[in-house]
Structure 1
Amino acid sequence: MVVTPTVVREITQGVARNREAGRISDTEIANVDALLGSVRVVPDAPSARAAGLKVTKKVGAEDIQIFGTADRMGIPIMTSDAKFLRGASAQGVDFNAIVHPPMSWIGG
């Protein structure tokens, strides 16, 4: 499994925000640490077709980096960000994505 530095930054910022708010458990933090320790970080390098997307309310600049890198590598991406996929599709770009339901931090 690979992730980009943008993904790592989004995850670590989410953990920090939820830790400060008391909405993340020590077990969840350990799980995130284990996950990040088991992936390979590859540089953000979006495909040309992803880089051509216009940033909108649905299509964020960071998402372009993340989805575009998977696209350039020719690998599917696992995501709950159906909003981005719809926004990109509306601009004529479809990604090879496996969509899962959104999840929130368990907390406690």
Structure 2
Amino acid sequence: MDYIKEYGAFLLAIVQAVMGWFMWSLRKEFVTGKDCAACRLVCRKEVAVAMEKLPSIKSMADLATELEGLRGDLKAQAADIRGLSEVLKRVEHPLGLLLENQLAESRRDRRGE
């Protein structure tokens, strides 16, 4: 017990110094209110700048209208292509028959020679 009375003040000073150092270290780990407010202001400015770069509602509506027009044009083009494929089939068949006839005649001519 005498040991505590004799060195108690010294031990208490060491504990308080360690606690003071710990509190000083925590100050470096956490953000102060002033720093947080400054950071919040910078973030709000950056968000405002980014929002200005976004397209407006009117331009998005115009884009949607143009896309619908393009969709209609694509459907019309697909119908035209289907129609052209039918025409191509009509042309290919007689052309194929003419080619077969020509080949058959050339074979007959070779045999006759």
Q: Which has the higher helix share?
A: 2
TM (norm. structure 2) is 0.17
Ranked by relative contact order (alpha carbons within 8 Å, sequence separation 6 or more), the top structure is: 1
Give the greater-gyration-radius structure (CA): 2
Q: Which has the higher strand share?
A: 1
